[in-house]
Amino acid sequence: FEASVGGGVPIIRTLREALAGDRQRAVYGIVNGTCNSILTTMTENGVEFSAALADAQAKGLAEANPATDVEGHDSAHKLCLLVTLAFGVMVKPAQIYTEGITQITQADIEYARELGYAIKLLAIGKDDDGGIEARVHPTMIPDRHMLAGVGGAFNAIYIHGDALGATMYSGLGAGEMPSATAVMADILEIARHRLAEGSARTHAFGFPIRLMKGASVKPMDDVVCEYYLRFTAQDKPGVLGAIASVLGRYGLSIASVIQKDRGKARTVPVIMRTHDAPERSLKRALAEIRKKKIVQSAPAFIRIEEKL
């Protein structure tokens, strides 16, 4: 069981025992080594997703069919356990918004760096006084944050508690020996219970599952984030203003803009970072921008977690 989230990283016992006396408010996990390795290769080598995936497969870090990893499902399954251990409620994979890394481009990596961010696939759980956020998606985080420096196949779980504050637990998330240490820890726990009580019976989550309540998971449309937006726009006057006008009508204010290659091509990339807004408002604004044909192709967006 200990190996089921962070491989060799002892996060199960940490949440179940060491942090049991605190109230956890948020959990942010880099819990899929394949995705983290791919994003690290894209960032460090300047290659696109397909080349980074092929490199990961050649190194044995990605399966021949990597869909479960790169589409975020593996991370979502692990987030179910993290939410239960951190907040004491049961959540099912179907309740977790899940988005993978297949649409991340080298352009997104470069613009993120210019804006001061790194892109990571995060499993995010938050407890807002009983309203649970549970979501997996590519996320821009400040490049100065500890999670931004977790590279390659390493995993990391960053936790916010009311009393303890922020702590992070990092190490190898897969591999024979890291996983073996976690398996042996489970065996030793069972053996100790047998010696102490004459029984191997233990509660994996620290108390009986039948006592747990189902989680009330916040709809993704109600989640509030900052956003990175990437548009492919015609290189002509008024386009930037038209985009900003639509965003403004839906309550999205612009924090910064990057516009490059003016005068060099018929279409140019327009990059915007917004302030906090509900995702419902963002989706409605992007749908209107696309409908009015202000931009050449479907806008891309990545959620930003500025204050982890």
Q: Which tokens belong to 221?
A: 């449309």
Q: Which is catalytic among the residues 78, 120, 126, 218?
A: 78
Rounded-to-integer distance, Cα 89 and Cα 92, Å: 10
Establish whether 59 is a catalytic residue: no
**Which class for 266: exposed (0-12), middle (13-18), buried (19 or more C-beta within 10 A)?**
exposed
- Cβ partners under 8 Å of residue 61, min gap 6: 33, 34, 37, 153
Question: For residue 86, which of 205, 172, 6 has the smallest C-alpha distance?
Answer: 205
CA dihedral 54, 98, 18, 308 (to 10 degrees): 90
For every residue of the chain, DSSP letters joined together read: -THHHHTTS-HHHIIIIITTTS-EEEEEEE--HHHHHHHHHHHHH---HHHHHHHHHHTTSS-SS-HHHHTTHHHHHHHHHHHHHHHSEE--GGGSEE--STT--HHHHHHHHHHTEEEEEEEEEEEETTEEEEEEEEEEEETTSGGGG--TTEEEEEEEETTTEEEEEEEE-SSHHHHHHHHHHHHHHHHHHHHHHS-----TTSS-GGGPEEPEEPPGGG-EEEEEEEEEEESSTTHHHHHHHHHHHTTPPEEEEEE--TTTSSEEEEEEEE-SEEHHHHHHHHHHHHHTT-BSS--EEEEE----
Which residues carry out catalysis?
A: 78
